[in-house]
């Protein structure tokens, strides 16, 4: 029943103008409220004022008095005699109920609204989160993060590669979720790489300390210059000592490869330039290179330099956006 109709019915009841059916409905309502309201009250006793508690007791006493007198008086005389105390009881009952409902609404867990953003091909993207933490997304990466700073936890969801410089907050850990790993920190700087087609997910620490876990299994607690690599196929993880600056060189505008296979290199080039690579000779996938380029370099210039390091040829098809790599072998 709508509130306005209910208030009219209560007013009729207090004035003695209800039909027997309407009076029974009001009494049934108060009986149910008498049973349920103490549960609300006791559950939130520390949050409801003492005066509200006294008001509740007044309501209960008035209702008890009404029932006791109803056994010896006619309904019509009871209406007249108890009109004023019942009016007060009804008003206080509605007030207490509304107060409890409002308190519960205000103290209900806040719904977290997430925003999702993607770094396009050939670009990195900086995001400043609501807590002032800074995230730099690599090309082709997506981040989902809470829009409001008041969330109880700081959970973000990464697909791809991101560098995180996290604002310290001991009460609210910063948690990066990827497809396979969960990285938890309080305040630090680290890089997470978790591309869908990559064999390995990695977490590399530049500053501070982070905990890395797969599902509920902690894989390790890593410090600066360390990296955890988790193989998505075997489920095995390894801890390495690494050059963190070299592995996060992309954050400073570099395409840097350190003893990486041509397979891994071309995957990175695909995300940056948007071209798909085709190997005419599968043996070329195992060729390994160490090189560094400014990320503003044109693709044909980069390939021209890279292929001079080995016995490799390339052909770019701009229409289909593909690059075919061919050759008999590569220099080791």
Which CATH number among 3.40.50.2300, 3.50.50.60, 3.55.50.30, 3.40.50.460 corresponds to the domain 253-326? 3.55.50.30
- Nearest alpha carbon to residue 278 among 286, 266, 290: 266
Q: Tell me the C-alpha to C-alpha distance, in Å, between residue 81 and each of 14, 15, 64, 65, 161.
A: 10, 10, 14, 11, 76
Task: Give the confidence band of 40 by pLDDT, cuts at 50, 70, 90.
Answer: very low
Q: Is 218's pLDDT higher than 90?
A: yes
What tens digit of pLDDT does each residue of 133-165 get?
A: 999 999 999 999 988 766 677 999 999 999 999
Least confident interval from 105-109, 127-131, 282-286, 328-332? 105-109
Provide the 10 A C-beta neighbour count for residue 225. 14
pLDDT at residue 42, as a whole number: 47
Comparing 68 with 46, the larger pLDDT belongs to 68
Q: Distance (Å, rounded) from C-alpha 219 to C-alpha 238?
A: 9
pLDDT at residue 116, as a whole number: 96
Question: Per-domain residue ranges for the chain?
Answer: 3-106, 114-247, 253-326
Q: Distance (Å, rounded) from C-alpha 238 to C-alpha 276?
A: 30
What tens digit of pLDDT does each residue of 299-329 get?
A: 999 999 988 887 789 999 999 999 999 987 6
| Global confidence as pTM | 0.66
pLDDT at residue 224, as a whole number: 94
pLDDT at residue 113, as a whole number: 84
Provide the 10 A C-beta neighbour count for residue 130. 14
Average pLDDT, the chain: 80
Cβ–Cβ under 8 Å, residues 212 and 220: yes
- Percent of the chain's residues with pLDDT above 70: 69
Comparing 51 with 327, the larger pLDDT belongs to 327
| Cα dihedral value 247, 154, 198, 202, nearest 10 | 40
Q: Is 92's pLDDT higher than 70?
A: no
Which CATH number among 1.10.10.10, 2.60.120.1440, 3.40.50.1100, 3.40.50.1000 corresponds to the domain 114-247? 2.60.120.1440
pLDDT at residue 159, as a whole number: 96
């Amino acid at each position: 029943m709508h509130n306005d109709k209910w208030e009219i019915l209560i007013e009729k009841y207090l004035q003695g103008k209800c039909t027997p059916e309407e009076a029974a409905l009001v009494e049934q309502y108060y009986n149910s409220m008498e049973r349920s309201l103490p549960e609300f009250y006791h559950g939130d006793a520390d949050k409801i004022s003492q005066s509200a508690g006294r008001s509740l007791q007044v309501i209960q006493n008035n209702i008890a008095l009404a029932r006791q007198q109803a056994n010896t008086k006619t309904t019509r005389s009871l209406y007249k005699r108890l009109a004023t105390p019942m009016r007060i009881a009804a008003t206080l009952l509605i007030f207490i109920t509304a107060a409890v409902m409002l308190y519960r609404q205000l103290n209900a867990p806040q719904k977290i609204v997430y925003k999702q953003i993607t770094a396009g091909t050939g670009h990195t993207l900086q995001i400043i989160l609501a807590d002032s933490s800074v995230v730099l997304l690599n090309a082709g990466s997506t981040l989902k993060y809470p829009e409001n700073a008041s969330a109880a936890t700081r959970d973000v969801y990464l697909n791809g590669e991101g560098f995180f410089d996290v604002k310290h907050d001991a009460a609210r850990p910063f948690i990066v979720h990827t497809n396979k790993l969960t990285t938890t920190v309080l305040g630090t700087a680290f890089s997470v790489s978790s591309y869908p087609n990559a064999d390995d997910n990695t977490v590399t620490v530049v500053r501070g300390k982070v905990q890395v876990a797969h599902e509920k299994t902690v894989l390790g607690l890593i410090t600066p210059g360390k990296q955890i690599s988790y193989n998505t196929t075997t489920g095995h993880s390894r801890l390495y000592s690494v050059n963190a600056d070299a592995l996060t060189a992309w954050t400073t505008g570099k395409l840097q490869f350190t003893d990486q296979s041509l397979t891994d290199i071309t995957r990175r080039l695909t995300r940056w330039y948007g071209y798909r690579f085709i190997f005419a000779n599968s043996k070329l996938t195992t060729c390994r290179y160490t090189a560094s380029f400014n990320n503003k370099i044109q693709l044909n210039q980069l390939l021209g330099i890279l292929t001079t390091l080995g016995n490799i040829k390339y052909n770019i098809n701009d229409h289909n956006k593909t690059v075919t790599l061919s050759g008999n072998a590569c220099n080791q």
